Structure 1
Amino acid sequence: MNNKLKDPNIEYLFKAILALETLEESYNFFEDLCTVPELKALSQRLQVAKMLSEHHVYSDIVNETGASTATISRVNRSLNYGCDGYSIIFKRLSEAEK
């Protein structure tokens, strides 16, 4: 577990997310929890990470997602030196699509 994030409030948030059972529940929870710009920023980062993991170049990512090169660089750092969170999600989503 990442010690930078270790906090009872964050742990409660993660437990709440894990308790969601459907896509509709997720939409409802995140609509209550986040603003539209916050959700768009999170989803943009996830899309950037997906495209980076598929070896897209920065210019293509900028054009498709509208993300800044600073955001792309930050996500790229997480992919290369992070906790493998993106990798786990991409693997599970890929398995779920099969």
Structure 2
Amino acid sequence: MKQRPEPLPTYDAAVAIDALAHVLSTLKGAAEVRAFLEDLCTPTELEAMGDRWRVVPELLKGTPYREIHEHTKVSTTTIGRVARCLELGAGGYRAAAKRLGLSRNSH
């Protein structure tokens, strides 16, 4: 991903992320969210986010990383990062999975 010459100050980045979260929360339905994401993100960014979300249900079922990789072709590095977010992250993956009624393992 393209880097800024200097990162935004933490406060400005937090404000921008909060604004983005607010905009997403106002969209109605998957079609509007998809259109917004297609305008906001590059195809590569969308593919990466889709890959991350695709492995969440498998990780929640306790599927081994190698099996997830064989089934999805998502790298084991990405799978590991998603697993760490499920364990130690902000809770977004788990909240979305719960909202969708996806099964969980004992984590």
TM-score normalized by structure 2? 0.77
Which structure's residues are more often helix, by fraction?
A: 1
Equivalent of 2:98, from 81, 91, 96?
91
Equivalence map 1:68-87=2 (5 Å): 68-87=75-94
Identity of aligned residues (%): 36
Displaced runs of 4+ in structure 1, greater than 3 A?
none
The residue type equivalent to 1:83 in the other structure is A
Aligned residues: 93
Whole-Å separation in 2 of the counterparts to 1:44 and 1:93: 17
Whose radius of gyration is greater, 1 or 2? 2
Give me the TM-score of the superposition, normalised by structure 1: 0.83
| Residue 8 of structure 1, aligned match among 15, 19, 23 | 15
The correspondence of residues 55-70 of structure 1 with structure 2, limited to 5 A, is 55-70=62-77
Shift of the alpha carbon at 1:28? 1.1
Gaps of 5+ in 1: none
Asked if 1:46 is matched to 2:46, the reply is no
Whichever residue aligns with residue 34 of structure 2, its letter is Y
State the superposition RMSD in angstroms: 2.2
CA displacement at 1:55 relative to structure 2: 0.9
